[in-house]
Amino acid sequence: MSRLTINDVARAAGVSKGAVSFALNSRPGVAPETRARILRVARDIGWTPSSRARALSVSRALAVGLVIARPPDTLGADPFFPSFIAGLESVLSERGYALLLQVVANDDRETPSYRRLVDEGRVDGVFLTDLFMDDPRPALLAELGLPAVVIGPALGDGIWPAVGVDDAPGIIGAVEHLVALGHSHIGHVAGPRGMVHGHSRQQAWSGALLRAGLAPGPSIEADFSAESGAAATRQLLDLAEPPTAIVYANDLMAMAGMSLAQSRGLDVPRDLSITGYDDTEIAAHLQPSLTTVSTDVIEWGRAAAKRLLELIDTQPPTDIMLPPAQLVVRNSTGPVRADLQGRTKTTHRRRQTTRGARRMEKQ
Amino acid sequence: MSRLTINDVARAAGVSKGAVSFALNSRPGVAPETRARILRVARDIGWTPSSRARALSVSRALAVGLVIARPPDTLGADPFFPSFIAGLESVLSERGYALLLQVVANDDRETPSYRRLVDEGRVDGVFLTDLFMDDPRPALLAELGLPAVVIGPALGDGIWPAVGVDDAPGIIGAVEHLVALGHSHIGHVAGPRGMVHGHSRQQAWSGALLRAGLAPGPSIEADFSAESGAAATRQLLDLAEPPTAIVYANDLMAMAGMSLAQSRGLDVPRDLSITGYDDTEIAAHLQPSLTTVSTDVIEWGRAAAKRLLELIDTQPPTDIMLPPAQLVVRNSTGPVRADLQGRTKTTHRRRQTTRGARRMEKQ
DNA sequence: AGCACCACCTAAACCGGTTTAGGTGAGCTT
DNA sequence: AAGCTCACCTAAACCGGTTTAGGTGGTGCT
């Protein structure tokens, strides 16, 4: 029963409610021993300031919002959010902030959602996720005067700070790993080019090929869903010269692609090497286990939360260093088949079955 | 800029602020035309009531909480929450409620989290998830006077209403499906028995075996993680008489189990049939695609939200019907191998087999 | 005409904090 | 001894709504 108010504390401590407020927020003007007494009384009777009342008087919501603009079914398969939210929470809660969640269909471009949050004064700032290349949201929020932090690669418009793990090192790592295994014909299944993280991973991929001195391989745009990953893989394998390795923009598409390849009788990694991105829990337990790129999503969430709170408090931004994405090499990648290595025009036909000599999962 | 207050509206409409409040909340005592004028003015100048102020004066937080008590990495692999949250949101937002999220490590048994939420007056009610068999939380919340709705199978203590999809029909469907395919030695990889949904799926499983007239098959307790699913599968396959089919308590464990079986050279479903539970997005795209149990999680979320709001408003509970879980037959289940059929002595009686008749995945 | 009644609206209290403007007394100047 | 400063504390305004207790004027009844 939070029937207790600051008045009860004031009365019990024999001071005015103003004094209690001062003591609680450790502001000057209260004698040390009085402060101690007030705090002790407050603790003894078990009083916690009402954040409702606080929010009203400080004209702050003491909450920040995370608006997720995706169709819920796509969402379900994304391992990103739960961990990310855990990271956010760990910072927010110790600062007395709450996290408000909103999931909206992404076809309404969620403008009304933000408007409502800010109109109703529910949040002091928001995290922006799943940004499109020409997304109206940053400008909208600037206009509304609501602080925001962009999650993901920087947008380049400089309106809001971006907090993200650079996609490039991970993708480059994957490409270099494949090149080292002898692959020279590497395909890519990308996320939507219209979305910033789809775009940036795509960029990272072509940059990495360039660095490796390889010709640009075939790249197919998908939408991060299993369905689209399978379809894209089908297209790549149907090419006159199918790639010997495929770099996927996320694990889900990679899994779907791997299954599709296997259903066609290809052996992974003997006939086709595959890399994912995310390092989902299941990745290590697939057959073969999936070589993928791992990022510390929890730390990412922590960083984003810190940044947003700084922005809200108009504090100077601190340097936030995120650990770079790291390639985790497992068993879905292997040396290119000798008969396919460096081939130019020869097409490789599918092999029926290659069961047997298969590297076992470590563990 | 939400600088606008109810006073601005009152002034512009030439009435008192009380009148504006009455008009807005459609309470009697305002002439129809006056009400219309007030609402028009409010809309014209673009005013939305501040939920901060509202929350303080109505002594309600106008928000509900979802405390997720799991290690974040386990969380990531669970497709449940995002969809569930989407369902919650769709009901909450239209009622002007916000959803507060909190992710806590589950080792602190999250008591402090709830306490804080209620002490600070941040929420009017909470959803309880991942309940343990002897969970202290329902009682704690009752003591704190904070309405709650249990997500999942009913706990039987009757303190709070439970909203959940009955696990039994899905599991029973899976078992019957396997029995129809000729399996008589069916294993189970369960969730933690200490958790209600682990427990209930386990119960459903043994109940289904009983119904089918089969002896209780081997059951191994796991923890819903991929890692544990693989380990449990290993144990089952290492039995003197390994089961010809395994029913898993979730997709993640089923996937890990399937991969493990394949890495041992087993063919799914020829040598081993496998069923999951959840119907995650990837399930349909595995090789072979996974036979699993699908529940309408979004609708579930909607139902839970409705129920909690009713509880908060102390309205009479309405009947909430959730569509039952449904078995989705795909390719990870098939007829038992003839040489293995009925080989166990413990079999009580066999049901006729329905070979070949497999519903194909739609798409 | 006088009165009760009702519909409509206003003024002010209230929710529980924060914050500002004062007030009080001790200690120090002059 | 009067005056000043300063540290400490109190009273009251304030945040922006809701809600209660009145107030006003018009209508119906006798």
**Tens digits of per-residue pLDDT, B234-260?**
999 999 999 999 999 999 999 999 999
The lowest-confidence range among A62-76, A194-208, B60-74, B322-336 is: A62-76
For A274, phi then psi, to 5°, come to -135, 135
Residue B42 confidence (pLDDT) above 90: yes
> Is A259 within 8 Å of chain B by CB?
yes
Closest CA–CA distance from residue A344 to any residue of chain B (Å)? 31
pLDDT band at B319 (very low <50, low <70, confident <90, very high): confident
* pLDDT top residue among A346 and A92: A92
Considering just the CA atoms, what is the radius of gyration of chain B in Å?
A: 26
pLDDT at B356: 36
Give the separation between CA B37 and CA A44, rounded to whole angstroms.
Answer: 52
Q: Which one of B47, B237, B279, B285 would you mutate to disrupt binding with A, by most A Cβ within 10 Å of its Cβ?
A: B285
Distance between CA atoms of residues A286 and A302, nearest Å = 30
Torsion angles phi and psi, residue B207, rounded to 5 = -60, -40
Angle, helices A297-312 vs A80-94, to 10°: value is 40
Mean pLDDT of B224-228: 93
Residues 6+ apart with CB under 8 A from B27: none
Give the residues across from B132 on adjacent strands: B195
Q: Could you read off the pLDDT of A46-92 as tens digits, one per residue? A: 999 999 999 999 999 999 999 887 766 666 667 788 889 889 998 99
Q: Do domains A63-165+298-312 and A167-294 have the same CATH topology?
A: yes
d(CA A196, CA A199): 5
Does B56 sit within 8 Å of A2, measured CB to CB? no
Q: Taking CB atoms and an 8 Å cutoff, what residues of chain B touch A98?
A: 100, 102, 122
pLDDT band of A197, cuts 50, 70, 90: confident
pLDDT in tens, B104-145: 766 555 566 778 888 889 999 999 988 888 888 899 899 888
Region of poorest pLDDT, from A287-291, A296-300, A342-346, B95-99: A342-346
| Gap from A16 CA to chain B (nearest CA, Å) | 21
Interchain pair B78, A82: CB under 8 A: yes
Cross-chain CB nearest to A103 (options B86, B145, B258): B86
**What's the Rg (C-alpha) of chain A?**
26
Q: Calculate the angstrom distance between C1' of D30 and CA of B31.
A: 30
Share of chain B above pLDDT 90, in %: 60
* Residue A167 phi, psi (nearest 5): -70, -30
B123: phi then psi, degrees, rounded to nearest 5: -135, 160
Q: CB count, 10 Å around CB of A175?
A: 28
| B207-CA/D30-C1' distance, Å | 80
Structure confidence at residue A115 (pLDDT): 81
For residues A249 and A205, give the distance between their C-alpha atoms in angstroms, rounded to a whole number.
9
Residue B192, both tokens: 């933690």
Q: What is the CATH number of domain A63-165+298-312?
A: 3.40.50.2300
The rounded Cα A278 to chain-centroid distance in angstroms is 9
Judge if the upstream peptide bond of residue A317 is cis by omega within 30 degrees of 0: no
Residue B15 has pLDDT above 80, yes or no: yes
Per-domain residue ranges of chain B: 6-49, 63-163+298-312, 167-291
| Strand D nucleotides, any atom under 7 Å to a protein CB | 7-12, 14-21
Q: Side by side, which strands form the sheet with A219-221?
A: A219-221, A186-190, A245-248, A273-275
Q: How high does pLDDT run on average in chain B?
A: 87
Which residues lie below 8 Å from residue A31, measured CB to CB, with a gap of 6+?
Answer: none
Mean pLDDT value across chain A: 87
The CATH number given to B167-291 is 3.40.50.2300
- Using a CB-CB distance cutoff of 8 angstroms, which residues of chain B are in contact with residue A356? 265
More confident position, B353 or B78: B78
Span B346-360, mean pLDDT?
39
**8 Å CB contact of B48 and A287:** no
Interface membership of B350 toward A (CB under 8 Å): no
| pLDDT tier at A318, thresholds 50, 70, 90 | confident
Asked if B55 and A50 come within 8 Å (Cβ–Cβ), the reply is no
Report yes or no: B353 at the A interface, CB cutoff 8 Å. no
Average pLDDT on B295-311 reads 94
CATH number for the segment(s) A167-294? 3.40.50.2300
CA–C1' A29–C30 (A) = 29
User: CB contact, 8 Å: B192 with chain A?
Assistant: no
Q: Stated in angstroms, how far is B5 CA from D17 C1'?
A: 9
Which residue, among A294, A99, A81, has the nearest Cα to B72 in the 3D structure? A81
> What is the structure's pLDDT at B116?
82
Checking DSSP bridges between strand B326-328 and strand B292-294, what pairing results, if any?
A: antiparallel
Cβ-Cβ contacts under 8 Å, A100 against chain B: 63, 98-101
Distances (CA, A) of A110 to A102, A133, A155, A260: 10, 15, 19, 35
> Residue A250's pLDDT is what?
93
Tell me the pLDDT band of A359, cut-offs 50, 70 and 90.
very low
Sequence-separated (6 or more) residues with CB below 8 Å from residue A288: A268, A269, A330, A331, A332, A358, A359, A361, B263
**Whether A102 and B99 lie within 8 Å, measured CB to CB:** yes
- Å from A215 to nearest chain B CA? 31
Residues of chain B in contact with residue A51, where contact means CB-CB under 8 angstroms, are 120-122
Of the two residues A289 and B78, the one the predictor is more confident about is A289
Q: What share of chain A is helix, strand, coil (3-state, %, to 5)?
A: 40, 15, 45
Please tell me the distance from the alpha carbon of residue A252 to that of residue B148, in angstroms, as a whole number: 35
B6-49 folds as: 434 Repressor (Amino-terminal Domain) (1.10.260)
Q: Tens digits of per-residue pLDDT, A123-163? A: 999 999 888 888 888 998 998 889 999 998 887 777 889 99
DSSP state of B293: E
Please state whether A206 falls in left (phi above 0), alpha (psi between -120 and 50) or beta: alpha
Write the pLDDT tens digit of every residue in B159-210. Answer: 889 998 888 899 999 999 999 999 999 999 999 988 888 888 888 898 999 9
> Per residue in A239-266, pLDDT tens?
999 999 999 999 999 999 999 999 999 9
Task: Evaluate if residue A114 carries a pLDDT over 60.
Answer: yes
Which one of B86, B121, B225 has the shortest CB-CB distance to A50? B121
B241-279: burial string, b at 16+ Cβ within 10 Å, e else: ebbbbbbbbbbbbbbbbbbbbbbeeeebbebbbbbbbbb
Class of domain B63-163+298-312: alpha beta
